[in-house]
Structure 1
Amino acid sequence: MSKNLALIYPFAKTMGEPLEHHINIKENQRFLCIPMAELSETEQQLLHSLYETKSEVGTTNRWQAFLAEQSTEMPKLAVPIRLVYFDLRTPLGSDLQIEWLHLFNAFF
C-alpha cells in the first residue's frame, strides 16, 4: 500500500510517529506521512475515506501506545522530565484524602 502511495506522492515520508499537518496512514508500526499542504481538499477526503488516517498528532498519546504495547517504538523526549511517585498503602478516608491533596498542592 505505502509503496503505491509513495509513487503517487513522492514527497511523502515514512516515519515511526505521525507528523503534524500531514495525512498519516498507519501501516504496521510505521506511518506514511503526506503533507496536507501538497494535497487538494478532494485528495485529503479520499485518503481519509480509503485508509485509517491520523491527522492530529496529539489524539493518541505516544507513551500510552508504547505502554499498551500498541507500538514497539519508545517515544523520545524533547525535554527532560522529573517524575514524583507516591505510594500510599493505607485506605484513605475522605478527611485524609483532603489532607493529602493539600500536601500535594503545597509540594508542587
Structure 2
Amino acid sequence: MNWEELKSEGDVAVKKVCDGLEKRGINVGKSIMSQFGTDEDIPVYDSLGNKLFWISVKSVPGNTTDPKKLPPGYKGWMCGEVESKQWIYPPTVIIWYCLKSNVAWGAITPKRPSTEWFIYPDR
C-alpha cells in the first residue's frame, strides 16, 4: 500500500467515526492542524464551540471482528517518539476502526505521557 492509499483509508475511517459520533450527539469538527504541527483527526467541542479535546482515529487493515484478534504483525499506534509532535499535545482518545467489518474500539490516553509510551489495540 502506498502513502496515498493509506491516507485515503485513514480519511474514510475518520469520516465514519465522525459520523457515528455526530449521530450520538457529540459536537465534532473537521480535522485540523494544531499549533504543534499535529493533525488532530476529530476535535470535540462543547455547546459553545470551545474545543474540549481531540480524538485520533487509526484504520485497521484486514477484516477484524474482534479487537483481541488482530491481523498478524499489526502493532497499532504508538505515541511518544521524539520525532512525533503528538507527544507535546497527545490525543485524549484513540479510536481504532476496521473499515471492512465496521468494528471500532478505543483507549483513553495518559494525561502526561512520557517520551516512551505505547498504546496498542490489545491493551
TM-score normalised by L of structure 1: 0.21
Greater share of residues in strand: 2
Q: TM-score, normalised by structure 2?
A: 0.19
More helix by share: 1
Question: Which structure carries more relative contact order (alpha carbon 8 Å, separation 6+)?
Answer: 2
